Amino acid sequence: MTNLSLVWFRNDLRTADNPALFEAAERGSVIGVFLVADEQWQAHDVAPIRIGFLRSTLCQLRARLQALNIPLLVQRAPRFSDAAGSIVRLAQAFRADRVFCNAEYPLNEVRRDRAVYQACRDNGIALERFHGGVIVPPGSLRTTEGKPYTVFTPFKRRWLDTLSTDAWHPLPVPRSQQPLTGSLPEIPSFEAALQCLPAVAHSDWPAGEAEADRRLQTFLKQRAQDYQQLRDFPAAPATSQLSAYLSIGAISARACLTAARRSNDNQLNARPGKRPGLDSWISELIWREFYRHVCADFPHISTGAAFRRETDALQWRQNPDQFERWCAGRTGYPLVDAGMRQLAATGWMHNRLRMVTAMFLSKHLLLDWRKGERHFMRSLIDGDFAANNGGWQWSASTGTDAAPYFRIFNPSSQQKKFDPDAEFIRRWVPEFADDSSSYPEPIVDHAAARKRALAFFKRS
């Protein structure tokens, strides 16, 4: 057999618009590979519910690949340091002369891929990398001074100006290949390779490409028009519910952008136009791109450091009891508590509440944003380092933001504005509505906490 390639799947678990898979299939026969890095995921605080979602998505991917006569080989490689040896051994065993993959941008993933590239090169195996996780590749956007963008709005303008025709042409599912023949090694049991992964599932999140596409189409047809007006109201079913699928790669950002643009009369607007809901949602896709570019351009954020290095000197408070009350949704602020309880119960939290709860921890309690970032990663089904880190640092005023530290959300005002009838709060904090005497008093007074936070940041 000749021209056999491996496609190394990571967070790109789909057959449609997958550049690595498509290019490999164009050149010859393909075997898919997925490495189970369970120990590394634990070290990276990946939530059990996300790993369970990954497991279910792998099963869906396997079925779609089988329909194309492409086997999917799953092998355990517990740490990223095991990846180079695993990929080389698999390529040699199947006499594959080339490995294809889509890039990942956090620092540990970059280091892993460098080691795999070097090991492949040392053994006469080519490794080709594509940018299947973004629409505009990191490194391709620079300011007039030749520097990476650090503020979203100018990044967005440049991003929109840079889009090429490729942005509107998601790649199709590859053609079905001829069944592999010849003396090939036996492919290990798919099910056995997944035994080390938790079978955690949630009925709100069916896995796979088909479900991701269904959600996209439903959103565009039924909710996108009202997205700008309703997206900040957690009780309203206004969001796309696609974040977990984008995070795991069951759908591509390019497919989402193309479908949204088509629904928007083929328009991309820097400011809201005739269909502001679609313009607003497209802007959220660009935020996703922005944080990936930041992750690639500023690798120090992958080491636990603040984006704004000067804020690493901040002396955050230590109060384990208040942190535990925040985690448990017992702060005495109903909207904060409702968001935290939604996260604990479902593995997901409404985006407005991610900002409210993150700012409450970092500004009202002055607890280290990294503790909150880790708690979110340990809980979220859509846990994604770039987005999670970017959101937390934005909320804590240590990250990429045009506004300085004095942005401090008032959780009571946020409740009045975005859950005025307490519909969402009643769902998750029933004791607040049923028996207010059993609901705790606020653990901190907003006015006093705001004054303390302003002094804290100003002094530091």
Amino acid at 322: Q
139 and 237 belong to one structural domain: yes
- pLDDT above 70 covers a percentage of the chain that reads 98
398 and 408 belong to one structural domain: yes
pLDDT at 374 over 90: yes
The catalytic residues are 284, 287, 316, 351, 369, 392
Final residue before a domain boundary, out of 77, 109, 132? 132
Mean pLDDT, residues 165-190 taken together: 85
User: What burial class does residue 45 get, using C-beta atoms within 10 Å of its C-beta: 0-12 exposed, 13-18 middle, 19+ buried?
Assistant: middle
Mean pLDDT, residues 437-442 taken together: 88
Tell whether 155 is covered by a domain.
yes
Q: What are the helix (H) ranges across 249-402?
A: 253-263, 276-297, 320-328, 334-346, 351-359, 369-377, 385-396
142 and 291 belong to one structural domain: yes
For residue 402, the model assigns a pLDDT of 59
How many CB atoms neighbour CB 324 within 10 A? 10
262 and 338 belong to one structural domain: no
pLDDT in tens, 137-149: 999 999 999 999 9
pLDDT at 404 over 80: no
Here the CATH number for the domain that contains residue 77 is 3.40.50.620
Mean pLDDT, residues 1-23 taken together: 93
pTM value? 0.95
Residue range of the domain that includes 10: 1-132
Beta strand 72-76 with 98-102 is: unpaired
Under the banding of pLDDT at 50, 70 and 90, the label for residue 1 is very low
Q: What is the DSSP letter of 165?
A: G
- List the Cα angle 94/98/101 in 5-degree steps: 110
pLDDT in tens, 229-258: 999 999 999 999 999 999 999 999 999 999
For residue 436, the model assigns a pLDDT of 64
Domain count, the chain: 3
pLDDT at 188 over 80: no
pLDDT at 326 over 60: yes
For residue 270, the model assigns a pLDDT of 66
Question: 19 and 25 in contact (C-beta within 8 Å)?
Answer: no
Mean pLDDT, residues 76-82 taken together: 97
327 and 411 belong to one structural domain: yes
- pLDDT above 90 covers a percentage of the chain that reads 86
Q: In which order are the strands placed within the sheet that holds 72-76?
A: 72-76, 29-36, 4-9, 98-102, 126-130
Of 21-30, 266-275, 298-307, minimum mean pLDDT range: 266-275
Averaged pLDDT score across all residues of the chain = 94
CA neighbor of 284 nearest in space, from 344, 236, 211, 228 = 228
pLDDT at 2 over 70: no
